[in-house]
Amino acid sequence: MGSGISLVAAQSGIDCWQIDISAEQLERAKAYHAKTVARAVSKQRMTEEEGTAALARIRYTQSMADGRNAEWAVEAASENVDVKKKIFVAMQSTFSASTVLATNTSSISITDLASAVGADAHRVIGMHFFNPVPVMKLVEVIKGLATSAETTARTMELSKAMGKTPVPANDRAGFVSNRVLMPMINEAFYAWMEGVAEPSDIDEIMKLGCNFPMGPLRLADFIGLDVCHDIMMVLYRELGHPKFFPCPRLRQLVQAGRLGDKSGCGVFEYPVS
Ligand code: 3HC
């Protein structure tokens, strides 16, 4: 998602750094940026000059210090509270005292993440984008207990400057989006496991019956089955209701390494490009 966020920022005229500890991930981000811009140019949604200018606004680095002058930092690491807290501590010591420290977490408490940076918790906020970031209009904006009004106002403004629609939600696990979406996805796995219908039929019913662009099982593959599993575990631990516990069929696929689109196979199979 980080590469989607940087691309949208760059297309909105914002200079940014794509920071990752993995050189390979940076190469993948670069390829994704080039491919997506080329498609937008071919569809005449931007000129070639605008595309070139957008790509030139993104710099790639494995060193967070390169981006030290940023006004904004959006953390988009995996959905693991310890990993995210370590990144927040690094962001606190790298960026200036006025940099907003945002997280693209899907489910983890903003207040909990902010506790990693002590007195700087007022600069921490949830800025939850949706996949594919260039296409999806929503940014769910989540204040932690200590998030300042200034941080919130700046985040609403930045989201709009990126062409998104920011909508506030309170700091409860999963916020609104994943609290509602994940039980639906989990229930689709139960329907499959219990033989209510074949996966493709479950999806077709939900697509045609509810006017969804993708069925819940296809969407789970698209999000990543491991990501869905991790979000459900956060919901289960934090909200304490068994309905959030991942369905055994989902757990089994994750254990088998069938993670969805990114591994070439999840509920469905995908050609790996
Ligand atoms: N990056 C950039 N653009 C993309 C893209 C990507 N990864 N994937 C698709 N697009 C663009 C295509 O270029 C295309 O643009 P065009 O009309 O100019 O050609 C447009 O989106 C439509 O794509 P396609 O024609 O290839 O395919 P579809 O019409 O089937 O649309 C979809 C694909 C936009 C992914 C659509 O199926 C959809 O909206 N699916 C639901 C997505 C969704 O629910 N996302 C939220 C997930 S939950 C989440 O992210 C939260 C997290 O915390 C888990």
Encode pLDDT of 187-210 as tens digits. 999 999 999 999 999 999 999 999
- Residue with the smallest CA separation from ligand 1 atom 17 is 43
Residue 153 burial (10 A CB sphere; 0-12, 13-18, 19+): exposed
Mean pLDDT of 27-43: 97
Q: In sequence order, what E strands does the chain have?
A: 16-19, 58-61, 72-75, 100-103, 124-128, 138-143, 165-169
Determine the residue of 135, 221, 228, 230 to mutate for testing ligand 1's pocket, defined as the one with the most ligand atoms within 8 A of the Cβ atom.
Answer: 135
* Number of the ligand 1 atom closest to the C-alpha atom of 131: 50
Closest CA to 261 of 207, 233, 225, 230: 225
Report the alpha-carbon distance of residue 78 to residue 84 in Å, rounded: 8
* Number of the ligand 1 atom closest to the C-alpha atom of 212: 41
Q: Domain segments of the chain: what residues?
A: 2-169, 178-263
Q: Which residues pair with 16 in a beta bridge?
A: 58
Q: What is the CATH number of domain 2-169?
A: 3.40.50.720
Residue 271: what pLDDT? 80
Written as six digits, the tokens of 3 are 């590469």
Provide the pLDDT confidence category of residue 273 given band limits of 50, 70 and 90: low
**Whether residue 184 has pLDDT greater than 70:** yes
Residue 103: what pLDDT? 98
Q: Which amino acid is at 203?
A: D
Cα 164 to middle of ligand 1, angstroms? 15
pTM above 0.85, yes or no: yes
Give buried/exposed letters for 199-231 (b at 16+ CB in 10 A, else e): beebbebbeeeeeeeebbbbbbbbbbbbbbbbb
Q: What is the CATH number of domain 178-263?
A: 1.10.1040.10
Cα 260 to middle of ligand 1, angstroms? 15
Check residue 182 and report its DSSP letter.
Answer: H
Cα 28 to middle of ligand 1, angstroms? 18
Written as six digits, the tokens of 50 are 């605008």
Report the alpha-carbon distance of residue 66 to residue 77 in Å, rounded: 18
**Whether residue 176 has pLDDT greater than 80:** yes
Pocket of ligand 1 (CB under 6 A): 36, 39, 43, 106, 130-132, 134-136, 177-178, 213-214, 219, 223, 227
The 10s digit of each residue's pLDDT in 122-151 is 999 999 999 999 999 999 999 999 999 999
Residue 46: what pLDDT? 93
Check residue 116 and report its DSSP letter.
Answer: G
Tell me which of 3, 140, 186, 229 is the catalytic residue: 140
Q: Is 150 a catalytic residue?
A: no
CB 129 within 8 A of CB 104: yes
Q: Is 140 a catalytic residue?
A: yes
Cα 77 to middle of ligand 1, angstroms? 21
Q: Is 106 a catalytic residue?
A: yes
